[in-house]
């Protein structure tokens, strides 16, 4: 039997999600340093498909799953990567779990990083009263780099609880299962194992626990050549050209996915035609042939197929984008990018590590909020969380593509890219303003560089399968419910009679009460305000609402201003809930109110500038002058305050000295 339970916070440890845990007989805890392959092993053991990546902080919370071993249910815990410290959130979570461990602790370590693995293994044995195993992963990589491990010698010293296994392969997972079975159930194997030297009270084996990793390492490990790869050296030696290459790579990827002659657009067209000819037309034909009512035909064909299924046409470009994000995550290049841009981000009160959060934010804001938990401290985490809603998530992509394809013309692709680039720029500017308000020292960045790897096609296929599954589930649940509710409301009048046309319906009544929001940007059509409202449940639903209800003609400037609003306004409820979990209710409410105000201001300003271009061009130099003056005034004020503070400190110090 295989199963999975997610634990995002402390509360989950006691809630009903843990009912399964009462029926299990044993526990297994997978822990180790970051990027050692813990989640890969967890997925292999439990059949789960948790997110994996080649960068620090992929797993920030404890995950649990169930595995059947010898007719007994064993609960498997995937702990965040840490060094069993209590100064990082991940470290605290791991330590909290393994200090009260009742079962086997598996310490996973990268073969090249055996020294650290031994150190953690030593601690794990203390916590688990000897029931610990050391699994050495990625041995083939060590061999390629010219290193090796003498396993027999290692076993002589620390016992049989150590194996070499490639956990991303079936054989490796089986080897770990066998080892866990032996440690949990077999008494015979204990006789050979040095762990039997531990007495029942849990007293540790002095000889083993006092082992010196350095001395042992000299005996068992032939170290690899630890040097930077050629690409790294070039990257760090010329940061400007590296940044240009990275930005160019972003545009190439974006063009392939969303460009006019890109692969994504071609696949988009093919999917649209496939749905049209294979699903919509035959269904309509069959419904009419079998005498289905007009209402039912309209509900299935116009409501379900045309609006909800039309979102599937946006899947191919999103998949292409996912492939690029996947390669960036798995190759190990992200840690380098984080180090490269640390200087820039530390100036705005963030750290280079925020790259991981922002990149995840391009996929899903909720997932990115959880990813922010891996950041250095509380203040940076909250600042990153507040900056996140400026990054357009992939759910907004269909809306951009849909509206820009209608009114964007030839510039649609560049306008689309502008939303992504300006999203990142706005988040950086916001963090900078936030830092200016709350003064603080630059952050200390210590980042581990995982070896550069070419991701496996099998892993890519699994990741894409997971993405498609979650996309279809979202469309089939949230988007479907929202669209269908709106569609049904569009067929009933406020007197609960069948509406003859949309303008008589409850939906129109609701829409008209919200339409005042977009009047300043030249949109009087109530369907746009409803579409924006539906985006609070799921961002994609705006497209299905606009298709289901239809939309009138509006000018390019109005569409553009509307998209500015859509790009900036509050994230969906799922993301707000994630923000609440990570930073608290105060921050979630702050994000909701602040983002909506910013979005309105942005949209109104763009529309005003666009419609009064001549006056704005005339006023622009004056605005720039005022901004420059304000900036200098702020700096002078800050310098003066620092001087006064220093003087006060000196005076206090002198006064103290006099007293002494």
Partner 1 sequence: MSCVFYYRVKGVIFKVYSLGELKATGKYKIFSVQADGSLKSRLNSLFISEGKTLVVLYAKNGKAIISAGGVVIGLSRSVARRINVCAVE
By rule CB under 8 A, what string of x and - marks binding of each residue 348-367 to partner 1? ----x---------------
Least Cβ distance, residue 344 to partner 1 (angstroms): 12
By rule CB under 8 A, what string of x and - marks binding of each residue 253-292 to partner 1? ----------------------------------------
Question: Which one of 60-68, 108-116, 551-559, 617-625 is the stretch in contact with partner 1 (CB under 8 A)?
Answer: 108-116
β-strand partners of 456: none
β-strand partners of 122: none
Least Cβ distance, residue 138 to partner 1 (angstroms): 12
Phi-psi region of 57 (alpha: psi -120 to 50; beta: other; left: phi over 0): left
Q: What are phi and psi of 622, to 5 degrees?
A: -65, -45
Nearest by Cα to 562 from 508, 603, 601, 512 = 603
Selected from 12, 115, 283, 405, the binder of partner 1 by CB under 8 A is 115
Taking CB under 8 A as the rule, does residue 248 contact partner 1? no
Q: What are phi and psi of 164, to 5 degrees?
A: -105, 125
Q: DSSP letter at 37?
A: S
Q: Where are the alpha helices (DSSP H) in 535-612?
A: 541-549, 556-568, 573-583, 585-611
Name the residue nearer to partner 1 (CB basis): 430 or 449: 449
Least Cβ distance, residue 150 to partner 1 (angstroms): 16
Question: What is the spatial distance between Cα 568 and Cα 602, in angstroms, rounded to a whole number?
Answer: 8
DSSP conformation letters of 483-522: HHHHHHHTTB-TTSSB-SSGGGSHHHHHHHHHGGGGGGGT
Selected from 358, 449, 565, 587, the binder of partner 1 by CB under 8 A is 449
Taking CB under 8 A as the rule, does residue 342 contact partner 1? yes
Name the residue nearer to partner 1 (CB basis): 104 or 112: 112
Nearest by Cα to 419 from 410, 409, 408 = 408
Name the residue nearer to partner 1 (CB basis): 217 or 502: 217
Name the residue nearer to partner 1 (CB basis): 188 or 227: 227
By rule CB under 8 A, what string of x and - marks binding of each residue 387-426 to partner 1? ----------------------------------------
Taking CB under 8 A as the rule, does residue 496 contact partner 1? no
By rule CB under 8 A, what string of x and - marks binding of each residue 26-45 to partner 1? -------x------------
Taking CB under 8 A as the rule, does residue 299 contact partner 1? no
Question: Which one of 149-157, 244-252, 335-343, 410-418 is the stretch in contact with partner 1 (CB under 8 A)?
Answer: 335-343
Selected from 85, 199, 203, 378, the binder of partner 1 by CB under 8 A is 85
Least Cβ distance, residue 368 to partner 1 (angstroms): 22
Question: What is the spatial distance between Cα 516 and Cα 402, in angstroms, rounded to a whole number?
Answer: 23
Question: Which one of 17-25, 316-324, 336-344, 507-515 is the stretch in contact with partner 1 (CB under 8 A)?
Answer: 336-344
Taking CB under 8 A as the rule, does residue 90 contact partner 1? no
Question: What is the spatial distance between Cα 607 and Cα 557, in angstroms, rounded to a whole number?
Answer: 6
Taking CB under 8 A as the rule, does residue 240 contact partner 1? no
Pair 385, 354: CB distance under 8 Å = no
Selected from 60, 94, 331, 346, the binder of partner 1 by CB under 8 A is 346
Least Cβ distance, residue 363 to partner 1 (angstroms): 25
| Footprint of partner 1 on 211-230 (CB under 8 A) | 223-224, 226-228
Taking CB under 8 A as the rule, does residue 233 contact partner 1? yes
Q: What are phi and psi of 63, to 5 degrees?
A: -120, 150
Pair 486, 507: CB distance under 8 Å = yes
Q: DSSP letter at 275?
A: I
Taking CB under 8 A as the rule, does residue 146 contact partner 1? no
Selected from 152, 240, 446, 457, the binder of partner 1 by CB under 8 A is 446
Taking CB under 8 A as the rule, does residue 380 contact partner 1? no
List Cβ neighbours of 520 (8 Å cut-off, separation of 6 or more): 604, 607
Q: What 3-state DSSP class applies to 240?
A: helix
At 60, list the tokens. 């920030």
Judged by CB under 8 A, the number of residues near partner 1 is 35
List Cβ neighbours of 193 (8 Å cut-off, separation of 6 or more): 159, 160, 161, 182, 183
Question: Which one of 85-93, 287-295, 300-308, 524-532 is the stretch in contact with partner 1 (CB under 8 A)?
Answer: 85-93
Pair 124, 132: CB distance under 8 Å = yes
Question: What is the spatial distance between Cα 2 and Cα 126, in angstroms, rounded to a whole number?
Answer: 30
Angle at 361 between CA 356 and CA 366, to 5 degrees: 110
Selected from 66, 106, 114, 350, the binder of partner 1 by CB under 8 A is 114
Selected from 46, 88, 271, 397, the binder of partner 1 by CB under 8 A is 88
At 422, list the tokens. 């300006």
Question: Which one of 47-55, 442-450, 538-546, 626-634 is the stretch in contact with partner 1 (CB under 8 A)?
Answer: 442-450
Question: Which one of 5-13, 109-117, 267-275, 517-525 is the stretch in contact with partner 1 (CB under 8 A)?
Answer: 109-117
Q: DSSP letter at 660?
A: -
DSSP conformation letters of 81-131: P--S-SSSHHHHHHHHHHHT--EEEEEEEEGGGHHHHHHHHHHHHHHHTT-
Handedness of CA 381, 383, 389, 392 (dihedral sign): negative
Name the residue nearer to partner 1 (CB basis): 446 or 622: 446
| Footprint of partner 1 on 553-582 (CB under 8 A) | none
Q: What 3-state DSSP class applies to 162?
A: strand
Pair 275, 516: CB distance under 8 Å = no
Residues binding partner 1 (CB under 8 A): 33, 83, 85, 87-88, 112-116, 223-224, 226-228, 232-233, 236-237, 335-336, 339, 342-343, 346, 352, 441-449
């Amino acid at each position: 039997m295989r199963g999975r339970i997610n634990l995002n916070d402390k509360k989950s440890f006691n809630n009903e999600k843990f009912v399964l845990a009462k029926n299990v007989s044993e526990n297994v805890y997978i822990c180790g340093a970051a990027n050692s392959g813990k989640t890969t092993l967890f997925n292999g053991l439990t059949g789960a498909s948790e997110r994996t990546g080649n960068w620090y902080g992929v797993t920030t919370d404890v995950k649990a799953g169930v595995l059947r071993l010898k007719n007994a249910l064993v609960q498997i815990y995937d702990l965040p990567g840490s060094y069993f410290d209590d100064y990082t959130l991940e470290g605290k979570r791991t330590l909290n779990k393994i200090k009260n461990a009742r079962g086997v602790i598996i310490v996973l370590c990268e073969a090249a990083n055996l020294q650290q693995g031994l150190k953690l293994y030593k601690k794990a044995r203390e916590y688990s009263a000897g029931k610990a195993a050391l699994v050495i992963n990625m041995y083939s990589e060590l061999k390629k780099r010219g290193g090796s491990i003498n396993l027999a010698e290692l076993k002589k010293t620390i016992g049989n609880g150590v194996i070499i296994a490639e956990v991303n392969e079936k054989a490796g997972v089986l080897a770990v299962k066998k080892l866990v079975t032996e440690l949990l159930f077999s008494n015979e194997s204990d006789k050979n194992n040095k762990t039997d030297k531990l007495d029942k009270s849990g007293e540790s084996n002095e000889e083993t626990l006092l082992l010196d990793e350095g001395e042992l390492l000299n005996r068992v490990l032939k170290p690899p050549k630890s040097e930077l790869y050629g690409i790294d050296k070039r990257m760090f030696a010329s940061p400007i050209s590296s940044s240009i290459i990275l930005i160019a790579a972003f545009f190439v990827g974006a063009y392939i996915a969303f460009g006019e002659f890109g692969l994504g657009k071609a696949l988009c067209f093919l999917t649209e035609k496939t749905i049209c000819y294979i699903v919509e037309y035959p269904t309509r034909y069959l419904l009419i042939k079998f005498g289905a009512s007009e209402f039912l035909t309209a509900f299935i064909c116009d409501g379900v197929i045309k609006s909800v299924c039309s979102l599937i046409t946006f899947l191919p470009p999103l998949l292409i984008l996912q492939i690029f994000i996947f390669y960036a995550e798995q190759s190990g290049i992200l840690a380098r990018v984080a180090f490269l841009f640390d200087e820039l981000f530390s100036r705005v009160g963030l750290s280079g590590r925020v790259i991981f959060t922002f990149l995840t934010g391009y996929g899903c804001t909720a997932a990115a909020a959880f990813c922010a938990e891996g950041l250095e401290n509380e203040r940076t985490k909250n600042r990153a969380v507040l900056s996140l809603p400026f990054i357009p998530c992939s759910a907004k992509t269909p809306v951009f593509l849909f509206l820009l394809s209608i009114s964007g013309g030839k510039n649609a692709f560049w306008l689309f890219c502008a939303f992504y680039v300006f999203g990142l720029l706005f988040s950086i500017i916001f963090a900078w303003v936030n830092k200016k308000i709350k003064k603080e020292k630059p952050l200390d960045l210590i980042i581990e560089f995982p070896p550069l790897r070419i991701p496996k096609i099998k892993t890519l296929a699994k990741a894409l399968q997971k993405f498609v599954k979650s996309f279809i589930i979202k469309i089939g649940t949230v988007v479907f419910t929202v669209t269908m509710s709106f569609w049904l409301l569009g067929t009933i009048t406020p007197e609960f009679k069948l509406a003859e046309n949309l303008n008589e319906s409850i939906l129109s009544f609701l829409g008209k009460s919200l339409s005042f929001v977009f009047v300043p940007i030249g949109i009087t059509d109530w369907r746009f305000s409803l579409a924006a409202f539906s985006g609070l449940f799921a961002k994609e639903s705006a497209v299905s609402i606009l298709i289901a209800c239809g939309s009138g003609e509006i000018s390019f400037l109005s569409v553009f201003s509307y998209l500015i609003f859509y790009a900036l306004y509050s994230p969906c409820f799922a993301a707000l809930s994630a923000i609440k979990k990570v930073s608290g209710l105060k921050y979630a409410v702050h994000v909701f109110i602040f983002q909506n105000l910013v979005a309105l201001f942005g949209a109104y300003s763009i529309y005003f500038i666009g419609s009064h271009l001549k006056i704005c061009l005339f006023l622009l130099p004056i605005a720039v002058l005022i901004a420059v003056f304000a900036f200098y005034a702020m700096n002078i004020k800050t310098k003066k305050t620092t001087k006064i503070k220093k003087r006060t400190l000196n005076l206090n110090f002198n006064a103290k000295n006099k007293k002494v």
